Amino acid sequence: MEQIYLAGGCLWGVQEFIKYVPGVISTEAGRANGNSAQTKIYAVKSNTTENGTSNNSDYDGYAECVQIEFDPSITSVTILMEHLFEIIDPYSVNKQGVDVGKKYRTGVYSTNTLHLTEAEHYITSRDDADRIALEILPLTSYAASDDIHQHHLSQFPEDHHLCNIPWDLLHKYK
């Protein structure tokens, strides 16, 4: 099994979509490449934590992402990139749907340089490569999101209105 980290705006939607893609073994919502593993993501996109206390941690540069464990005999980085491009606007900088800010940027992160090379090749082979705003970087840090964010849209489908990805597309591979 191998791991890669994909950022595509709100992690709830990315996780709900990608976990059903053939070859994906498991997913975990989290934050990649921030300066502090201590940063907490706000519960239900507010400024309070799950227990109601204020969480005023400064944003530390992270990207909301989904850690993906996949079986390389079934899928590949290229195929995962194709799927990511089904649910993102690849030309948008720091914005996906109504979610705006650097933490909502699109990206691919990995500790495996072969993954990064394959992702870069996917981008450069596209006719629109010069317009794509997706970053491809080594993974420097990762922290899992709070439990409330894990498989959030499966547990709380009523929160789908907070996600820019249509419900039918989220479950295209279910």
Q: What residues are labeled active site?
A: 10
Q: Residue 67: helix, strand or coil by DSSP? A: strand
Q: CB of 152 within 8 A of CB of 37?
A: no
Give the whole-angstrom CA distance, residue 52 versus residue 42. 10
Query: Sign of dihedral through CA atoms 133, 138, 143, 144?
Result: positive
Give the whole-angstrom CA distance, residue 166 versus residue 156. 15
Give the whole-angstrom CA distance, residue 28 versus residue 167. 20
Query: Sign of dihedral through CA atoms 94, 61, 135, 116?
Result: negative
